[in-house]
Amino acid sequence: MELFRDDPSAYLAAGIRIGNFEIRFYALCILFGMIMAIIVSIREAKKMHINTDDLFNGAVFGIVLGIIGARIYYVIFEWKSYSAHPSEIFAIWNGGLAIHGGIIAGFVFAFFYCRKKKISLLAVFDLMAIGFLIGQICGRWGNFFNQEAHGGETTLEFLKSLHIPEFIYRQMYIDGTFYQPTFLYESLWNLVALIAVLILRRTRTIRLGDIFGIYLIWYGIGRFWIEGMRTDSLMIGSIKQNQLISILLIVGGAAYLLFKYLKLKPGYYMDYVDVEFEPVINKENVSKIPSVVLAVEEENDDTTKEVKEVKEKKENKIVSKIKDVINKEDEVDKADYEVPEELDKNAPFRKSKYIVDDDDEE
């Protein structure tokens, strides 16, 4: 314990300071997570033929409304303290964002935005779920710098038994006591989910909209477990409200998936994604294009109109590339066999000395 008692190596909450202006690491972590979430979502949206301008504009408005929703949610459950100091309601730089409020506000906004822009709601929900996972993975490290959102008291021996880097349990040494790094548990929990859905979305395992349902259930389970260890929970009487909300997320996610499979019956996620394809084609095998190059999985009776439209777009794109290849080959062939004009003008009267015909034999 002596090693940590006088050790000033704890990371400070202050990040960038310009005069009296300060940007905390907490804000930088959240900002980084937002930027990465938008980048990944836009890359995927392009492959799903979603207008990226609409997606970007929706993401910006959604993030702003999500932050407002997270703040309102936190203030509601801490109203006793804020009612006595109402000016603090707007002092968001002092902390106080509840992710559940951000999730609710974000998905409600997406529902109405997608209907207005006529964008696939299931596709956007999936992209948002991936974005939330990325944002939460990065954002939790803001709690690390603030030395907050930690669990109960523990020992140095226990933290070392987790085989976590030393800089983490140094930061969990607060006022002479070690605490559980619950921020790390939640960040890793979401990282596992992110890796899983990024792999599964390219297989015939999950269907469009599944990622959103998986996110609700996975995050609900993890947050319920981790919230039980935290010491700074918002309460509803004697019940931790985040655990209650987590249960609702789990039930809601399961109900959503059940409804989607019974009523909506969307196709596989990968069927909506345009995978770049460069056909190896020439004039000899053009006749085989319908059966070889454009071969797609037979459509079942429950194949949705939306899936068929996406497949048709993918096929048209391949056909366009094939035509370009053939046209280029035709141009090359023409160049190989074309005789320059100044040599070709007397072609009817020119005869090679190596050609022998019947007239020569006579």
Q: What is the pLDDT of residues 88-99, one digit of tens each?
A: 888 776 667 788
Are 46 and 127 found together in one domain? yes
Q: In whole angstroms, how far apart are CA 38 and each of 24, 69, 97, 297, 319?
A: 21, 19, 20, 32, 32
Q: What is the pLDDT of residues 317-328, one digit of tens each?
A: 666 666 665 666
Instruction: Specify the number of domains making up the chain.
Output: 2
pLDDT of amino acid 277: 43
pLDDT of amino acid 25: 84
Are 263 and 311 found together in one domain? no
Residue 310's domain comprises 278-335
Are 300 and 239 found together in one domain? no
Domain boundary at 253, 271, 289, which?
271
Q: Residues 6 or more apart from 361 whose CB is under 8 A from it?
A: none
Considering the chain, what is the average pLDDT of its residues?
79
Work out the pLDDT band at 21, boundaries 50, 70, 90.
Answer: confident
pLDDT at 73 over 70: yes
Q: What is the pLDDT of residues 115-152, one digit of tens each?
A: 999 899 999 999 999 999 999 999 899 889 888 889 99
Residue 163, classed as helix, strand or coil, is: coil
pLDDT of amino acid 22: 75
Are 51 and 171 found together in one domain? yes
Please give the average per-residue pLDDT across 8-31, as a whole number: 74
Domain boundary at 271, 289, 306, which?
271
pLDDT of amino acid 350: 42
Are 79 and 144 found together in one domain? yes
- Which amino acid is it at 96? G
Work out the pLDDT band at 211, boundaries 50, 70, 90.
Answer: very high
pLDDT of amino acid 155: 94
Q: Residues 6 or more apart from 132 whose CB is under 8 A from it?
A: 37, 103, 106, 215, 219
354 belongs to a structural domain: no
Work out the pLDDT band at 40, boundaries 50, 70, 90.
Answer: very high
Are 29 and 153 found together in one domain? yes
